[in-house]
Amino acid sequence: MNEVIAFYPILIKGTITTIQLTVMGAILALVISFIVGLARISKFRSVRVIAIIYLEFFRGSSALVQMFFIYFVLPMWGIYFDALTAGVVACGLNVGAYGSEVVRGAILAVGKEQHEASQALNYSVYKKYRYVIIPQAIPIMIPTFGNLLIELLKLTAVASLITISDLTFMAQIIRVQTALTLEPFLLILVIYFIIASILVKLVDLIAKKFSKGRNIMTAGDK
Amino acid sequence: MEWNWDHAFAVLPQLADGLVVTIQATIVASLLAYVLGLGIAILKMSKSKFTRVSLYWVTEFVRRTPILVQLYVVFYVLPDFGIFLEAFTCGVIVLGIHFSTYTSEVFRAGIDNVPKGQWEAAKSLNYNPLQTWKNVILPQAIPPMIPPLANYLITMFKETPLLAAITVVELFRAADQYSNSHYTYLEPMTLVGIFFLIVSIPSAMLAMKLEKKFKQAKTA
């Protein structure tokens, strides 16, 4: 184990890269979730069709394939990403597809009377969603977004296969250099578990905060 | 870069072989995930608090860590302890264990949904635990579980490319090998993506149909 600990500088670097990938991927995924989720309930058929194509494409094919496509195939068409950006884009696009279903489901779960009330107040569509519908949909989304965040963290490990030096990549380096197998992988499993557990706690806190004064079940409730 | 049909046709037979391995891995891993998941769900209902709590943390540990790293652990570490498994076996075991922590939740919800009166009825008939599970609980619990379990089957199918990282020549690695030897990623990777879409979109639609069917059956 001491030999592995001696590699702590690259382990710390790997942890930071993993967190970077997770945070940036999560931001991208969140933005895409809302854009695509709202597009799914658009009045315009063409907008809905484009959103469905996006959704089915990214949900239907494998994340690893998408990552390789972005990193190895797109450059052939002149679209260059460095590895980290390719990783973030792939993670964000993939998880964003799943997230869009969460957004759509939550918005549809807001009662019909809320739409009627907005109409009675003569709200525009923008005002209706901005001030009435979405604020009520967000607490419903949070627990599921929390699960997706953990999936995203786990997905970042796959980014090591397109040469991003995240935790998994660093563990491979340590394995090759020390010929140890159990220690490096066990150590990073524990690090991943700690990061994930912190994220779970964080999402729980956010869920509690948002559900305060609202009669909505959160993940922790029974 | 232009699409080259020669490459596309040349890689197809290898992709077909890969697809067979992918489907085999999906089927074996999902069977393992279902059996283990049911076992975990039943154990989680144990009277012993120690069993429940330790099982909770073990399953959370598996759920909160990446499959890829778990694959490396089994693939690289077991040989150090004198256990030599084929890469395919390692991959199937890891996928099966990883997703058993997800399927166990489905089983638990399904079992929880069986009304309490059914347990009491089984007791009043003097059924032993095996009879209770086999004749009363599971026949009622399983049908509503089928759609979510089918969805996990599709998820597992999409996770099989990770087995490529431990040298299993499945669909993705077959394409990657061709790409590396012919210096073209375009055709193999596009085709792999299409293969995945062809299998997973109709399966997802089927799962959705099942879901609707069971919902109707319940309200009827």
> Does A218 reside within a domain?
no
Per residue in B103-117, pLDDT (tens digit) is 999 999 999 999 999
Give the dihedral sign, CA B95/B155/B25/B143. positive
Q: Do B64 and A196 touch (CB under 8 A)?
A: yes
What is the reported pLDDT for B40?
A: 95
Would you state the torsion angle of the CA atoms of residues B165, A55, B100, B142, taken in this order, to the nearest 10 degrees? -150
DSSP conformation class of B76: I
Residue A216 lies in a domain: no
Residue A221 has pLDDT above 70, yes or no: no
Q: With an 8 Å Cβ cutoff, are B189 and A69 in contact?
A: yes
Could you tell me if residue A219 is inside a domain? no
Contact call for A171 and B69, based on CB within 8 A: yes
Measure in Å the smallest separation between the Cα of A72 and chain B Cα atoms: 6
CB contact under 8 A, B158 and A193: no
User: With an 8 Å Cβ cutoff, is B66 touching chain A?
Assistant: yes
What confidence category does residue A92 fall into, taking pLDDT thresholds of 50, 70 and 90?
A: very high
ipTM: 0.88
In a domain, A217, yes or no: no
Q: CATH number of the domain at A63, please.
A: 1.10.3720.10
DSSP A4: H
* A95 at B interface, C-beta within 8 A: no
Q: Which residue of A has its CA nearest to B186?
A: A73
Residue of chain B whose Cα is closest to the Cα of A18: B66
Compute the nearest-CA separation of B123 from chain A (Å): 27
Burial classification of residue B212, based on how many CB atoms lie within 10 Å of its CB (0-12 exposed, 13-18 middle, 19 or more buried): exposed
CA distance, residue B127 to nearest chain A CA (Å): 31
Residues of A in contact with B196 (CB under 8 A): 60-62, 65
The answer to whether residue A71 sits within a structural domain is yes
Domains of chain B: 5-219 (1.10.3720.10)
Q: How is A31-70 classified by DSSP, letter by letter?
A: HHHHHHHHHHT-S-HHHHHHHHHHHHHHHHS-HHHHHHII
Q: Report the predicted TM-score, pTM, of the whole model to 2 decimal places.
A: 0.89
If one counts every other C-beta atom within 10 angstroms of the C-beta of residue A182, the result is 16
Judge whether A222 lies within some domain: no
Residues A120 and B184: their CA atoms lie apart, in Å, by 60
Q: Do A65 and B1 touch (CB under 8 A)?
A: no
B184: exposed, middle or buried (Cβ count in 10 Å: 0-12, 13-18, 19+): buried
Q: Which residues of A touch B200 (CB under 8 A)?
A: 59-61
The confidence score (pLDDT) of residue B3 equals 84
Q: Which residues on A lie below 8 Å from B185 (Cβ)?
A: 68-69, 72-73, 76
Residue B84, Cβ density class (10 Å: 0-12 exposed, 13-18 middle, ≥19 buried): exposed
Calculate the CA dihedral of residues B106, B108, B111, B117 and round it to 10 degrees: -140
- B197–A171 CB contact, under 8 Å: no
- Residues B161, A65: C-beta atoms closer than 8 Å: yes
Most confident of A19-23, B76-80, B208-212: A19-23
Q: Convert the pLDDT of each residue in A63-91 to its tens digit.
A: 999 999 999 989 888 888 999 999 999 99
Asked if residue A199 is part of any domain, the answer here is: yes
- Is A119's Cβ below 8 Å from some Cβ in B? no
| Number of domains chain A is built from | 1
Report the residue of chain A nearest B189, measured CA to CA. A69
Kindly report, residue by residue over B141-175, the tens digit of the pLDDT: 888 898 899 999 999 999 999 999 999 999 999 99
SS3 (DSSP) at B106: helix
Q: Which domain holds residue A127?
A: 2-211
CB of A39 closer than 8 Å to CB of A47: yes
- A215 pLDDT more than 80: no
Task: Give me the pLDDT at residue A219, please.
Answer: 46
The string of pLDDT tens digits covering residues A144-203 is 999 999 999 999 999 999 999 999 999 999 999 998 889 999 999 999 999 999 999 999
Q: Which residues contact A36 (CB under 8 A, 6 or more apart)?
A: A51, A54, A55, A96, A97, A100, A103
| pLDDT on residue B74 | 93
